[in-house]
Amino acid sequence: MFDYDFMVNAFVAAGIVALVAGIVGFFLVLRGQTFAGHALSHTGFAGATGAGLVGIPPLWGMVGFALIAGIGMGALGERLTGRDVAIGVILALSLGFGLLFLHFYTSYAAQAAALLFGNVLAVDQPTLWGLLGLGIVSLGSLAVIARPLLFASLQPELAEAKGVPLRLVSLMFMAIVALTVAACAQIVGVLLVFTLMVGPAATAVRLTTRLGLGVALAAALALAEAWLGLTFAYYSDWPTSFWITALSSGAYFVSLLPRRISSTIIR
């Protein structure tokens, strides 16, 4: 399958996105903000369709809208936790705008399914470089705020007492999540962002309590699920997003088993 350039591009793109999604997703799960990440993906859908309306690449429209929404959510600081109703309204409004943009640009409607469910096999070289740039920026920014982010995630009251700027840390982290969501949508679509961002991270959190090992395990699981999903899709002719989702869900369900049994299965 590596004789085809589109498969090589797909594996490279999936590898970049999976590593970033696994690492960023671990902190997203740790902070209990998974629903906010889901809302950002729908905001990205509106951005992508709006970009098609004005004639720019969908990836950059998705990045722009998701980044604005992420910064807005981050500006709420730690108060974001528990605001499911407000986030749900943003999610629905974003989909509504996406449908509105499609209404005015009907020739773009054929690509709506790819935005919703992903089409990693259609990744071209410019998109590949864009994903690489997003990955470098996301992981580089995460490395800068990793220590205060971890402190604020585990002990927010103590972190605030020690002078950690919780609002700024939250804002920067949600901006990073927005960039990661935009990248994930190119692989699995806006409706299945949880597959790469939350599934592997949630599995890793259940399998280990060690921070470093958890981050590494989340990234490794996301990478394995993305590459195996591509491989299974090539040989079965079933959608790639289905296979990645099935593998991600399967790994999480295994982690729900008693620890001794799940550890034996993973070995």
Residue 160 lies inside a defined structural domain of this protein: yes
> Is residue 109 a contact partner of residue 102, using CB atoms and an 8 Å limit?
yes
Claim: this prediction has a pTM higher than 0.85: no
State the Cα torsion 238-244-250-254 to the nearest 10°.
150
> Is residue 41 a contact partner of residue 191, using CB atoms and an 8 Å limit?
yes
Residue 34 lies inside a defined structural domain of this protein: yes
Question: How many domains does the structure of the chain reveal?
Answer: 1
For residue 212, the surrounding DSSP H or E stretch is: helix 211-236
3-state secondary structure of 83: coil
Q: What is the pLDDT of residue 218?
A: 94
* Confidence category of residue 262, pLDDT binned at 50, 70, 90: very low
Most confident of 10-24, 54-68, 185-199: 10-24
Q: What is the pLDDT of residues 119-136, one digit of tens each?
A: 788 788 888 888 898 899
Kindly give the interhelix angle for 84-104 and 34-54, rounded to the nearest 10 degrees: 20
Any idea which residue has 């790639």 for tokens? 240
> Is residue 63 a contact partner of residue 45, using CB atoms and an 8 Å limit?
no
The domain of 70 spans 5-195
Residue 103 lies inside a defined structural domain of this protein: yes
CA nearest to 186, candidates 228, 140, 244, 231: 244
Q: What is the pLDDT of residues 145-173, one digit of tens each?
A: 988 888 888 887 888 788 888 888 888 88
Residue 132 lies inside a defined structural domain of this protein: yes
Residue 159 lies inside a defined structural domain of this protein: yes
CA nearest to 27, candidates 18, 17, 37: 37
Is pLDDT at 205 greater than 80 in this prediction? yes
Per DSSP, the residues of 147-207 read HHHHHHHH-HHHHHHTT--HHHHHHHHHHHHHHHHHHHHHHH-GGGHHHHHTHHHHHHHHH
> Is residue 14 a contact partner of residue 230, using CB atoms and an 8 Å limit?
yes
Residue 28 lies inside a defined structural domain of this protein: yes
Angle at CA of residue 144, ends 142 and 145, nearest 5°: 70
CA nearest to 15, candidates 181, 183, 174: 183
Residue 89 lies inside a defined structural domain of this protein: yes
* Confidence category of residue 265, pLDDT binned at 50, 70, 90: very low
Residues near 209 by beta carbon (within 8 Å), at least 6 away in sequence: none
For residue 67, the surrounding DSSP H or E stretch is: helix 58-75
Task: Answer left, alpha or beta for residue 189, where phi above 0 means left and psi between -120 and 50 means alpha.
Answer: left
Residue 99 lies inside a defined structural domain of this protein: yes
How is residue 136 annotated by DSSP?
H
Residue 172's CATH number: 1.10.3470.10
